[in-house]
Amino acid sequence: MIVTTKQLFEQAYGKYALGAYNINNAEQTMGLFQGNMASKAPFIIQISKGARSYTNKLMLEGMIRAADQIFPDAVFAVHLDHGDEATCYDCIESGFYSSVMIDASHESFEENIAITKRVVEKAHAKGISVEAELGQLGGVEEDIAVDESNAHLTDPKQAAEFIEKSGCDSLACAIGTSHGAFKFSGGQGLHFEVVEAIQKLVPGYPLVLHGSSSVPQDEVERINKAGGALKGAKGVDPNQYLPAAKLGVCKINIDTDGRLVWTRVYREFFRDKPEVFDFRPIGKVFMEEYAKFIASRNELLGSAGHLNEVRAALK
């Protein structure tokens, strides 16, 4: 059952956060649904611009529609990750997405509000939720690279004004995380005081954390042992997910960790089975491992076990 992020956030606020997981192909899609069903969690599927053009945007839609049929008990939102204005309109027009992110965080404050407001008007007319972003994360997303030292934390007062003027349904805040596998390179940590201050100004309003992969060290070690070169890879402490959720963070974005699962599975497989050249045995291992990973994250996010209650509330 496809629902909006707004509907999911109303159920989760202050109790747990929804995992927002990016997908690119069929194996990830299957593993994602299996992991969420095994842990009985509602969830958010994220589709980036890069994912939409990797095979074809219709291929991704088709896979998600199929998964919805294969797993009829699943409850999830279909969300555009880091959209520009044109891509947001394309997703809104498609009639498939239940949620879009307009990321104009690199624009001036006023321009960010103006662009977000235009997207909100079009999306809300079709019952679609809108996430916006204020402040700048470090790291690389799509084709924009932001040096960590140039990343700007979200200003809580500006956040309150932005929410009121733009009408967005949720706001991604910069609190020290960055995209990718090499976080906190400047030695700085998570700025929970920013989230606390925003929650005080806009109580009940759903916040979003990007760049939240935990980059498990055992995964990095296994990748490096199997020929990888991910020296110094580091992520967010996943034990911080639930404390963040209690402060109004309703959506936690995890993409890089899934890529690490993929890299570890494939590197070890080809190292240990040089005689195999069939993609199905290894694809099956990946789906199982990714499903296990998703279930483990949902436990840490607190979303595990909430599926039945959310379905009953949203039916």
| β-bridge mates for residue 252, sequence order | 19, 209
- The terminus-to-terminus CA distance of the chain in angstroms comes to 9
**Choosing from 73, 81, 84, 147, which is the catalytic residue?**
81
Q: State how far the Cα of 313 lies from the Cα of 10, in Å rounded to an integer.
A: 10
| Tokens read off for 244 | 């963040």
> Among ligand G3H, Zn ion, ligand 13P, none, what does residue 161 contact (CB within 5–8 Å per kind)?
none
133 binds, among ligand G3H, ligand 13P, Zn ion, none (CB under 5 to 8 A by kind): none
Q: Closest approach of Cβ 49 to ligand 13P, in Å?
A: 11
- Subset of residues 186 to 225 that bind Zn ion, contact rule: CB under 5 A: 210
Minimum distance, C-beta of residue 141 to ligand G3H, in the bound complex (Å): 4
Helix, strand, or coil (residue 254): strand
Q: With CB cut-offs between 5 and 8 Å by kind, which of ligand 13P, Zn ion, ligand G3H, none does residue 169 bind?
A: none
The question of whether 81 is a catalytic residue gets the answer yes
Q: Which is nearer to Zn ion, 172 or 287 (CB)?
A: 172
| x/- track of binding to ligand G3H for residues 18-47 (CB under 6 A) | ----x-------------------------
Q: Is residue 264 within the footprint of ligand 13P (CB under 6 A)? A: no
Binding residue for ligand G3H, selected from 82, 251, 297, 306, defined by CB under 6 A: 82
Q: How far is the CB of 210 from ligand 13P (least distance, A)?
A: 3
Helices (H), the chain: 5-12, 26-38, 49-54, 57-70, 85-94, 109-124, 156-166, 192-201, 217-225, 241-246, 256-272, 279-301, 307-314
**Touching ligand 13P, residues 207-226 (CB under 6 A):** 210-213
* Distance in angstroms (rounded) separating the CA atoms of residues 278 and 46: 29
DSSP state of 172: E
Q: Should residue 166 be labelled a site residue for ligand 13P when binding is judged by CB under 6 A?
A: no
Separation between Cα atoms, residue 248 and residue 195, nearest integer Å: 8
Q: Which residues are catalytic?
A: 81
